Every structure is written in C-alpha cells, then in structure tokens.
Amino acid sequence: MHCDTADVRARWVINAAGLGCDYIDQMFGYDRIHVTPRRGELLVFDKLARPLVNKIVLPVPTARGKGVLISPTIYGNIMLGPTAENLDDRTATGTSEAGLDFLLGKGRRLMPRLLEEEVTASYAGLRAAIDAGDYLIEADGEQRYLLVGGIRSTGLTSSMAIAEHVRDLLADAGLKLTPRSDLPEPPCMPNIGEAYLRPYQDEARIAGDPSYGRIVCFCERVTAGEIRDACQSPIPPPDPGGLRRRTRAMNGRCQGFFCAAEVGTLFERCRFQAHGTSGPLEIPA
C-alpha cells in the first residue's frame, strides 16, 4: 500500500479507519461503503445537578436512533445529548449554536428542571455513519484485506466482541494465529468515577502516601498522587490533554481556570521524574 510518505507492507491489512474507512476500501478496488460524518453534540451539567437523575431518561426511539437522552455519568455529572446531524466535512468536530439550541429544546421537554442547572461543558464528535443498516465487517482472503467499517457509537460497547469476530475471520481466511507469550501485564486503570472510594477519601492510602491527600483539581477532586501515577504508568499521557482524559483534572466546572497552572507544573515535574532527567523528584506537600 502506498501512502503519502512511504510504502507500507503487511501480511494483512485490517481497515478500521473510521471516518476514512471508505477511502481505504477504495484502494482495494471496492465501492461498497460510503461514509457520512454524523455529528453528535452533547451538554454536560455540573455535579450539583446529579441528584436530579438516577437513571437514563430517554424518549421513544426512532428508526434513526435513541434520540436525545438524559443520562447520569459515572463521574457524577449529567449528560444531555447527543444530536445526530449529517455533515459533509469529516473534520467538523466543533460545537454549534444550532446544536446547543436543539439540545436545550429537547431537554426542556424531557426534564425542565435540569435546564436550571449549570452547564459544565459542551462536546461534539463524529460518528462514521454508512449507507448500510449495520456494521460492515468482511474479509477478502485473496487480497489479504479485512474491512471493519461503519462502527458507530455502539462500537465502544461491542469492541471486544468485534475484535474476537475479526480474529475468527482472519483464521477462517487462512492466517495462522499464534498467541503471544511476551505480552506485558495489562495496565490497571485507576478509578476516577464516583461509585467507589476515591484516593482523596481513602485515609489508609493517604497515611501511606500524603500526596493522595493533596487535592490539586478541586472540581473533580484529583490529587497530586493520581497525577504522578498517571505520568509514571506504562503508557503515560503525552501532554496535559492526555492527562485530563486520564485523570479528569481540569475537566470540572471551572474547566481548569483555577487548577491548570498547578496541574501543568506537576505534570512537567512528574515527567522529569519519569524520564530520569534532572529536576525536582518529589511532589511538595
């Protein structure tokens, strides 16, 4: 396969390119799938609104999907969304005024009381909608090529089952599969939800390491110890944005207004430590 910068050689090509899967599919001579980017916008309400909702509230689903719903999150917020807007631009991941108005209108019909609460943030993403009723997962043994296309939002839930199905298709097509014995232990993701004991609540953990008692991000109750652990994990976050997604630091009501400077300083300090370079090695109390 030829790309802009180099030729890529492989025994098999698995096309799981999302919004670009139809472009890759055409490289193998197919014209069976066409992707329409479908933007989904949503609103996240402050943690103070969480007592309003203890289960998912949704309208009667339609043929196109479940529609706009109100959902509690594991992080203690409430989410309103998503929209479903077909676009032409595969890079249009920004939120829109029309999307915001649409969500507020739907939310007002589902739960008027919710709209009296503070909105923490708004987000948007693109789903790879295709001109087929379901996922399109097919193998071409002659070209040693396998398409995994049209995997929309439900693909997150079904990802492990999809991977097993792809493995079986590869085996049926003649690829010899040998389990690896040199894989490292899978990383253990920390709990950043509200259902279980968080580090800042764990007296025994704080007694053993006071950094777990030092809260840096007060909106999300993220401690200095959690930031350090994320930076020293087997796959550390490459930048503050990755740290935000890993720990939820700067992801709360103030969106980093109060804590971004300190979080950034700790992130750089912990990176110095993780890479073994010069710099402060301890998190100050």
Six token digits for residue 249: 């630091």
| Pairing relationship of beta strands 119-130 and 35-45 according to DSSP bridges | antiparallel
The pLDDT value given to residue 191: 85
The pLDDT value given to residue 258: 94
What's the rounded mean pLDDT across residues 27-38?
94
The mean pLDDT of the chain is 90
What's the rounded mean pLDDT across residues 13-35?
95
Helix (H, G, I), strand (E, B) or coil at 161: helix
Domains of the chain (ranges; CATH) run 13-34+132-172 (no CATH), 35-130 (3.30.9.10), 199-274 (no CATH)
What's the rounded mean pLDDT across residues 205-228?
95
**Least confidently predicted of 16-20, 88-92, 251-255:** 251-255
The pLDDT value given to residue 283: 53
What's the rounded mean pLDDT across residues 196-220?
95
**Contact call for residues 114 and 81 (beta carbons, < 8 A):** no
Strand partners, 217: 222
Examine the pLDDT at 27 and tell me if it is beyond 80: yes
Helix (H) or strand (E) holding 271: helix 260-274
State the Cα–Cα distance between residues 275 and 261, nearest whole angstrom.
21
Tokens 């991000």 locate to: 217
13-15, strands of its sheet edge to edge: 13-15, 145-149, 136-140
Residue 255's region, left for phi above 0, alpha for psi from -120 to 50, else beta, is left
Strand locations in 47-192, DSSP E?
69-72, 78-81, 85-86, 119-130, 136-140, 145-149
**Model confidence over 95-133: pLDDT tens digits?**
999 999 999 999 999 999 999 999 999 999 999 999 887
**Model confidence over 156-202: pLDDT tens digits?**
899 999 999 999 999 999 999 998 888 888 777 788 888 889 999 99
State the Cα–Cα distance between residues 91 and 20, nearest whole angstrom.
11
**Model confidence over 226-285: pLDDT tens digits?**
999 999 888 899 999 999 999 999 999 899 999 999 999 999 988 777 665 444 445 555
216-227: burial string, b at 16+ Cβ within 10 Å, e else: bbebbbbbbbbb
**Contact call for residues 184 and 234 (beta carbons, < 8 A):** yes
The pLDDT value given to residue 281: 41
The pLDDT value given to residue 270: 84
Tokens 């309208």 locate to: 59
State the Cα–Cα distance between residues 280 and 265, nearest whole angstrom.
11
